[in-house]
Amino acid sequence: MVFADSAATTPVRREVLEAMWPYLAGGSDSVFGNPSSHHEVGERAAEALAQAREAIAQRLGCRPSEVILTSGGTESDNLAIKGIALAAPRGKHLVSIATEHEAVLESLGYLERIHGFEVELLPLAPSGLVHVEHLLEALRPDTTLVTIAHANNEIGTVQPIAELAAVAREGGVPFHTDAVQSAGWLDVGIGGPAGLGVDALSVSGHKLGAPKGVGALALRGGIPLEPLVHGGGQERGRRSGTENVAGAVALAVALELAAAERPGVSAVAEARDALIEGVLDAVPSAILTGSPEHRLPNHASFCFPGTSGEAVLLELERRGVTCSSGSACAAGSDEPSHVLIALGIAPEIAQAAVRFTLGHEATRADAEAIVARTRDAVGAVGSLRG
Query: How does pLDDT run across 361-385, given as a tens digit for each residue?
Result: 999 999 999 999 999 999 999 776 5
Contacting residues for 298 by C-beta, under 8 A, at least 6 apart: 6, 185, 268, 269, 272, 357, 358, 359, 360, 362
- Active-site entry in 62, 303, 323, 329: 329
Whether 217 and 209 have beta carbons less than 8 Å apart is answered as: no
pLDDT at 28 over 70: no
Across the chain, mean pLDDT equals 94
Provide the whole-model pTM. 0.95
- Report the pLDDT averaged over residues 22-41: 83
Q: Helix crossing, 245-260 with 40-59: angle to 10°?
A: 30
Sequence spans of domains, the chain? 14-260, 263-385
- CB atoms inside a 10 Å sphere around CB 166: 16
Q: How far apart are CA 282 and CA 11, in angstroms?
A: 30
| Nearest CA-CA partner of 260 in 16, 7, 35 | 16
Q: Which pLDDT does position 92 carry in this prediction? A: 97
235-240 average pLDDT score: 96
- Greatest Cα pair distance in the chain: 71
Residue type for position 23: Y
- d(CA 250, CA 237) in angstroms, rounded, equals 23
The whole-number pLDDT of residue 33 equals: 87
Share of the chain above pLDDT 90, in %: 88
3-class state of residue 339 by DSSP: helix
Q: Which fold has domain 263-385?
A: Aspartate Aminotransferase, domain 1 (3.90.1150)
| Other Cβ atoms closer than 10 A to 268 | 24
Window from 105-114, 162-171, 185-194, 345-354 with minimum mean pLDDT = 185-194
For 136-165, what is the mean pLDDT? 98
pLDDT of 218 > 80? The answer is yes
Is-same-fold flag (14-260; 263-385)? no
d(CA 122, CA 143): 13
* Cβ-Cβ contacts under 8 Å for 244 (sequence gap 6 or more): 69, 71, 213, 214
Task: Quote the pLDDT of residue 26.
Answer: 72
Please count the other Cβ atoms lying within 10 Å of the Cβ belonging to residue 42. 16
The residue ranges of DSSP E strands in 131-192, in sequence order, are: 143-147, 175-178
Number of H helices, E strands in the chain: 12, 12
Pick the CATH number of 14-260 from 3.40.50.970, 3.20.20.70, 3.40.640.10, 3.40.50.720: 3.40.640.10
What is the side-by-side order of every strand in the sheet holding 118-121?
A: 67-70, 215-219, 200-204, 175-178, 143-147, 93-96, 118-121
Clarify whether 329 is annotated catalytic. Answer: yes
Instruction: Starting at the earlier edge strand, list the strands of the sheet with 287-288.
Output: 287-288, 299-303, 353-357
Could you tell me how many residues make up the chain?
Answer: 386
pLDDT recorded at residue 331: 46
